[in-house]
Structure formats: structure tokens, C-alpha cells
Homo-oligomer: A and B are copies of this chain.
Amino acid sequence: MVVGLVETAVPAAKSTVSSAVKKPTTLSSDPIINVARGDPTIYEPYWKKMGDRCKVVIAGDEFMSYFYNAMNLCWFLLPELDNAIRTLHRVVGNAMVDDDKFIVVGNGSTQLFHALLYALSSPDMPEPINVVAAAPFYSVSIQLQPLQSYPEETKFLRSELYKWAGDANCYDRDEPYIEVVTSPNNPDGSIRGTVENREGGKAIHDVAYYWPQYAPITSKADHDAMLFTFSKATGHAGTRIGWAIVKDKVIAAKMVKFIEVSSIGVSREAQLRAAKVLGFIADDCRNPDVKGENFFEYGRRLMSERWGKLREVGMKSNGVFSLPKYPRDYCKFTGEYTDSNPAFAWLKSKEGLNCENLLRDESKIISRGGPSFGVDSTYTRVSMLSRDVEFELLLERLAAVKGTVNGN
């Protein structure tokens, strides 16, 4: 099992995740590159440069109580974080955050996804509610085993409240359902709406990647229940903070109850840090005198450069693999027409080839194949958010793929 950045050995039956930046290696030194997961370490240099401006200091006697947001429905939400979230969405223009919307904070958007499944289902229904998503759908590799994905998360506790019911495109039962919509989509970066639109249908909108570095901001997202996460917005994956923007008070209250019973709220320290960083970005974006790029300008430039390089490699691959094309669109945040630069590249190999195996066997690149996302094995997903050293090595390797080895 290998989940390090660039591993030269493969310890058996042991978790070997690692975030250390190792010495750059070349193709000839034969290391494994793992880009199956979306660890957003790409933004580290930016935050290093910001230095003390985003530092948080917490004294020994702070945050002792369970309780601290007396008048809020989400009683464990730090008011500073509530404020920073709303301010940043207003500055970026990517989500409606009117005062009548409820913000629910969670231990990452993962916990909020579970909370929403709970809130949208009901113990009074005779059958578990069906959960669907249009393929290809979200799937995250942690420790190389496909532990996380919408199917996995839905099935995990064998709840009688809800059950995974597969690809939304194939769903034809006349039963209640929840559709999970990820837009921009993970893995393929497409902009999506619901596939099912029947009366009484419910939806969870995962808009984790709807930020200017990944996609043009064309309008304010305004769905019943939307999920965002600190990790994809700014790169702070270790902080475990996500937030939901919810229209209906009853749904928001059920989510709060879920998080109470699961973990009695969310670490105050993590919330304080998220508030600091999100507030910092919002201030920078609003300040015309800021020196250098703001966070989103930086992120968009970086992602755009990476996508340019990857497309170049793709074009030279003689059709061994290809990449999706995205329409340019007018981004209201930047005030110009911009490209989509998704957090993942969704590679498709020539027919008859297994793309995941191809990359693994020819180039020691660990990616995550189509079947994990509900589609065929000519597809595979590669993270675009790794550190520079790893990304450059990835390009070097991909450029050398010939499409001759293929353990199907």
C-alpha cells in the first residue's frame, strides 16, 4: 500500500501515508507517484509567503465550554467563522448567503454529507430513501483503498434510513430519492445540474470546487442545500472544516442534531483558523491596493499553468490519452472570460486500454480508475493539486507513456 508523495518502497500491509516533500526524483530512479487522492498541497507556498498574516494564537484557557453561539441554530458555529464564510461568498459571488440562510459547520464536508443524508431521510418512511448520483460520481481514495465515495459513504453504516441506488442516469424507480450533484464535478470537472427532476425529489449540491481557481464564477449558486469545504477552497485539508448553506430551517436543525450526536460539534480551534484564513482572503480580494496577487488570482494562475502543460503532454501522446474540453465562460469574479481548470484531470485512454493499469504499469503512476466512479476502465482520475515537484514528475512520466503495456 503506497500513499506517499514519491515512494521508493512499498511496505506491506501497512498504512504509509506521507506528506513530506522528498528530494525530486527522475524517471530513472523508479519511484511511485501517487496522484489517486486530491491532497491540496499545491497552495502551501502561497500560505508560507503570507507568513504571520494568517497566524492564529490560542491561549490555554480559551474555548473551554461546549457552548458558545447562544442565539444561533447551529450552536457550535463560531460567530467569527459564520461571518467570514458569508463575507467571502459575497466577495466571490459564488453562493447566495442572505441572512435567512443557515450555515451549518461540520468536521469537513464529509460529516455534513452524512448529516444531510440523515436530515433528508425519515424514520417514518416504510423503505430507506434512494440515494443517486450521475456517473461519473465522487470517489476519494484514502490509503489507496476506495474507502470514500458516495456509494461507500451511503452504505457504510447499513442505515435503514437511506440506501445507495446507483447512477442517476439509470434511475427509474417511482420512489423517493436524494440526488447528489457535484458541480464542478469530481472527477470530470463538468458543470452539472440535477438529472432527476421529479416532484418530491431532494438534492444535495456539493459545490466544493466552485471557486475562481477551478471554474468561472457565472452566478451565485442558490440551491436548497449546498456543501463547501475549507480543504478545496484554500488547501487547508488538515483543518477538517466544511460548511453547508441551507435554506430550510428544519433541515438545518436536523443536521445540527446529527453533528451533536456524532461529535458534539466541531473543534473551536479549527473553526478559528478557518475564520482567520477565509477572512484574510476576503479582505485581500476587496482591497485594490493589495500587493501581488490575491489568493484566487494566485490559484487560478497556477492551475491554468498546470493545465496548459498537461494539455501539451496530452496532445503529444498520439491519442494514447485525451482530456475533456471545457467551454470558456464569463467569470463575474475576475471580470473576464476564463477557462475551467479542474482540481482533477479526467484522462481517457484509447478504446480497449485500461487507463489506470496503463499508467501504473508503464509509469508507476497511481491514479484512480473509471470503475471507482461508476464508468468504464478507459478513464482514470489524476490529482492536479499536488506539490510542484510531484506535478513536474507526473508530466515527465505521462509524456513517456506509450500505450504498449496494458494489464487489462
Contact = CB atoms under 8 A, between A and B. Distances in A.
A263 B238 contact: no
29 contacts: A4-B70, A15-B72, A17-B67, A17-B69, A19-B66, A41-B65, A43-B64, A44-B61, A44-B64, A47-B60, A60-B277, A60-B280, A66-B231, A106-B263, A107-B240, A107-B267, A108-B264, A110-B261, A110-B262, A147-B260, A148-B264, A237-B264, A238-B268, A239-B267, A239-B269, A240-B266, A240-B268, A267-B269, A268-B270
A118 B15 CA distance: 20
Give the 3 A-B CB pairs with smallest separation, nearest first. A54-B60, A63-B238, A19-B65
Contacts of A341: none
A325 interface: no
Contact of A64 (B55, B75, B148, B236): B236
Interface string A258-288: 0011111111111011000100100000000
A114 B263 CA distance: 9
Interface stretch (A150-158, A303-311, A373-381): A150-158
Contact of A157 (B65, B153, B161): B161
A161 B156 CA distance: 10
B58 A55 contact: yes
A267 B142 CA distance: 16
Contacts of A174: none
A60 B64 contact: no
Interface string A96-107: 000000000011
Interface of A: 3-4, 14-20, 37, 39-41, 43-48, 50-73, 75, 106-108, 110-111, 114, 118, 123, 142-143, 147-148, 152-153, 156-161, 231, 235-241, 257, 260-270, 272-273, 277, 280
Contact of A123 (B14, B53, B158): B158
A59 B70 contact: no
Contacts of A51: 59-60
A89 B357 CA distance: 47
A61 B44 CA distance: 6
Given A57-B56, A156-B261, A64 B47 contact: yes
A54 to B, nearest CB: 3
Given A107-B267, A108-B263, A263-B263, A235 B64 contact: yes
Given A17-B75, A147-B260, A157-B157, A60 B50 contact: yes
A280 B142 CA distance: 33
Nearest to A229: B264
Which among A71, A147, A264 has the highest number of chain B CB atoms within 10 Å? Answer: A264
B269 A152 contact: no
Contacts of A160: 158-160
A261 B20 CA distance: 24
B238 A66 contact: yes
A328 to B, nearest CB: 30
B54 A67 contact: no
